[in-house]
Amino acid sequence: MNANLLASLVAIFAAGLVTIACRATPFLLFGSGRIPPFLDYLQRAMPPIVMTVLVFNSYKALFPQGPSWDFAVAPMAALSLVVPGAMAALLQFWKRNALLSIVGATALHMIMTRLG
């Protein structure tokens, strides 16, 4: 058997074992149905935390040198970041639907990027 083929098969087998282990672990640990309070807290707290990190990460392109009033990107490019972000926030507060907020803001961002 070719060494590259054997290495590929071993890698695929290892990835499969890791995938099965990751999927089985919650059932093995929490099979009784009781979720520890810490994990319940994380389940409620993580989505806003992740969204905050994503927002700051997407807006860092505006100020690559740090906070200042000198935009590093063209005004239309800056607007194509800020306006869809505001739209996502407004849609989320209005409809309370994450999918609608994400899809609506993404569509607006794509339109503004193509037009600008």
Residue 70: predicted pLDDT: 59
Provide the residue ranges of all domains of the chain, joining segments of one domain with +. Answer: 1-34, 45-115
Separation CA 3–CA 9 (nearest Å): 10
User: What are 35-92's pLDDT values in tens digits?
Assistant: 889 988 998 898 888 888 877 877 877 776 666 655 556 777 788 888 988 998 899 8
Angle (CA) 56-58-63 rounded to 5° is 80
Task: Give the predicted TM-score (pTM) of the model.
Answer: 0.55
- Evaluated on CA atoms 98, 100, 101, 105, the torsion sign reads positive
